[in-house]
Structure formats: structure tokens, C-alpha cells
Amino acid sequence: MTFPPTRDEALRRLAAFVPQAGHAYGAGRNIDPGPAQPTAVSRLSPYLRHRLITEAEVIAAVLAEHDARAAEKYVQEVLWRTYWKGWLEMRPAVWARFCAERDHQAQAFVGSPTLHAAQTGQTGIEGFDDWVGELVQTGYLHNHARMWFASIWIFTLKLPWSLGADFFLRHLVDADAASNTLSWRWVAGLQTPGKTYLATADNIARNTNQRFAPKGLTTEATALTEFPLPGPIALAEQPVAPISEPAMLLVTSEDLHPESVFESASPFVAAVVATDGQKLWGEAARRFVEAAARDTTMRVSAAFGCPTTWHDSMDPERLLAAARAAGVRHIVTPYAPVGPVADALAAIASRLAVEGVTLVQVRRRWDERLWPHATKGFFPFKAKAMASLAAGDLSAD
């Protein structure tokens, strides 16, 4: 399985998938036939995750061919990604807690034979070991396989959920801080306190077309517990008016389609595509993002008519030098949600400010409208999102 990392390929795959996004997707979305087999799922997640295509584009294409009821399951799947990001954006302490626990557990499990076996696919558990190989080689797993994997990791192997989430972050081409962290928390019984997900041999066999029927899985999934989390915080405010002075555009791996964020007449005199914001990347993800960045560099140069360069790091000094060379005091970038890139941008902003250069993040209309609704559970969020879609409030992104 490969994911050619260009926007053109993303659009081609979207067009090919759209006819199947209705009842066919709903009927077959839980089946994992294997990495080389035809599947009901879209396999658009790497492109959506890095926004080579956007949620708004994908849902608009699907609803142009299917009515909302027929396409409900697929639209819901796309909206989950937005919900998770909005939920985490208002609760950044969850990301900070994950990072701290991951680092602590990594030290505590140094030399653990169980952890080594899990990370190298040598547990002897049918299916699980195969998914390890598939994940490392392709950077992808079917969503249902990810749930089985996480459940086995936590409840059968008794390994820390944070190290499993980290393993996914380091290998999945489509892993983002929100969907990955919160999905692992959900399986573990932390996200919805007390509610866990238990992988069973029967369910795995039925939904892998009998490819796997693992023996020895635990029959109990006792929810993990944690100290209470802080309550949600308000979303950060966005600039009221667009930057009118000459500016440099900064593109990160969080949003590789700035053409749909900014107008072509934006005052960019230079642009930098920088892609080293996630130190967690595995080899498959690194290759995808770096190649996608080169594709983006060409598109940005053409779209905004300014010299555009690719940096293989988000080093503040390199960005400062680029801003000085362009003669600008403002760097503008699509908003990065909570996660490694946002952490990197916070450090960059502090360094630039010392030199009198401002870093301005601009949030997409899609996120600005929908994230504030991620205050409670998914289904109230979904109802509000569908109402916004029906009213046409999200058509332009």
C-alpha cells in the first residue's frame, strides 16, 4: 500500500472513492481485508491529516453525490477528526499529560521484554504481530485494526497506553495528536471514564474475513483511571483583520494547502515550507511529509507568486534569517492545533518576538465554526455540524 504524497493524487483518490461513500461504505467500513486488498474505506486519512485536501472538500464532494442519510457513516467519520481536534484544543492539558506520562513510562519500561516483543511483532499473538509489520512497513492500519491493536496492547499485554499511542505517532502516516491520543484514551477507559473497548477473537475473525483468530486474548477490560483533568478553556482568539503589511508565509505539516486559507492577493513576498515540527515521526511518515512538502512548495510558489523554499526543520534561526532576507516583520501561518507543531511554533514565536518579528496564526473557517461545539460528547457536536453543513455555513474553506 502506498500513498503518493501530492494534492493531485489526493483529489484523484477522492474522486474514485466518492461513488462508494454511501451505503457501500456503511456496509463494509468495519472489514479489514488486508493491506493489498480492495476495501470499503477511503484511505484518504494521510491526505486529510496533513490537509493536502480538506474536510470541507471531502464532505462537499460526498454530499454532492449522496444524500446525508446515505453518506452519514462516512461524513461522521470525517467529523470525528474535527471533533477530536476541537476537544483537545480546549483541553491542552491532556496533551501535556500524555507527553509527561509517555516520557515517564519510556524510562520505566527500558529493557522490558514485553514492550520489545510488542514493538517488533514478536508477541506470538496472531493478527497483532501482523499489524505491527503492516504499520512499520506502510505507515497505515485500518481503523478497526487500530482499535484491536490498542485493546490488546493495553489489556492483554498490560503495557502503558501512552507508549502504544507513541508507537502509533512514530509510525502512522496519518497520526495527529488529537485523533491518536484521544482514541487510545477511549480504548483505555479514560476518555469516556469507565467505558473501554475489548478486542475479541470472534470480532477480529469476522471482520478480517477469517484471516486472524487470535488465541489468549483477555476477556476483561478494566478501565484505567487518572487524576481529574482541568476543565475546558476558551479557544485562542484569532486576528480580526488580515495582515496588510508585507509578510512571509510559513507552511507546516499541519496544513499543506494554504491556498484555501489565504487569498491569492495576500501580501506574501516570500514563503517557507518547514516540516520538522514532529520529532515523533517514523520513516514512513517522514518520507510522506517531506515529499508532500516539496509538492506544496511548488503549488505555493505558483499560487502566491512569491519565492518559496522548503526547510527540513523548523529552526527559529533559519526562519528569522528568511524573514530578514525578505525584509518582513510578520510571518503568517495556518493555525496548528495542539500537538508537536503547535509546541514548536510557540517556541519559534518567542524567539522571533525578541527580534521584533511577529508570528501570526490564522485558523480555518471550518475549525473556527466547529471546534467551539466540541464541549461535550461527539453526537451533540455532530448534530450542530450537520446543521451548519445543511445551512451552507461551511461551504467556503
- 18 contacts 359 by C-beta, under 8 angstroms: no
Residues tagged in the binding site annotation: 25, 74, 174-176
- 262 contacts 247 by C-beta, under 8 angstroms: no
Q: Please state, in angstroms and rounded to a whole number, the distance separating the CA atoms of residues 62 and 19.
A: 8
Q: Please state, in angstroms and rounded to a whole number, the distance separating the CA atoms of residues 283 and 49.
A: 17
Residues tagged in the binding site annotation for FAD: 25, 74, 174-176
Cα distance from N-terminal residue to C-terminal residue, the chain: 30
Q: Please state, in angstroms and rounded to a whole number, the distance separating the CA atoms of residues 351 and 96.
A: 21
Query: Which strands make up the sheet holding 247-251, listed edge to edge?
Result: 308-311, 268-274, 247-251, 330-334, 358-362
Q: Please state, in angstroms and rounded to a whole number, the distance separating the CA atoms of residues 129 and 239.
A: 48
Amino acid at 240: V
Please provide residue 65's backbone torsions phi and psi, each rounded to the nearest 5 degrees: -115, -20
- 201 contacts 215 by C-beta, under 8 angstroms: yes
Which residues does residue 358 pair with via DSSP β-bridges, in sequence order? 330
Cα 122 to chain centroid distance, Å, stands at 28
Q: Where are the alpha helices (DSSP H) in the chain?
A: 7-17, 23-28, 45-49, 55-63, 72-89, 92-108, 113-120, 128-138, 143-151, 161-169, 177-188, 201-207, 283-304, 316-326, 340-354, 365-370, 378-391
Ramachandran class of 17: left when φ > 0, alpha when ψ lies in -120 to 50, beta otherwise: alpha
Cα 195 to chain centroid distance, Å, stands at 23
Q: Please state, in angstroms and rounded to a whole number, the distance separating the CA atoms of residues 364 and 397.
A: 7
Q: Please state, in angstroms and rounded to a whole number, the distance separating the CA atoms of residues 249 and 259.
A: 11
Q: Please state, in angstroms and rounded to a whole number, the distance separating the CA atoms of residues 102 and 164.
A: 9
Amino acid at 312: D
Q: Please state, in angstroms and rounded to a whole number, the distance separating the CA atoms of residues 156 and 151.
A: 7
Q: Please state, in angstroms and rounded to a whole number, the distance separating the CA atoms of residues 148 and 301.
A: 43
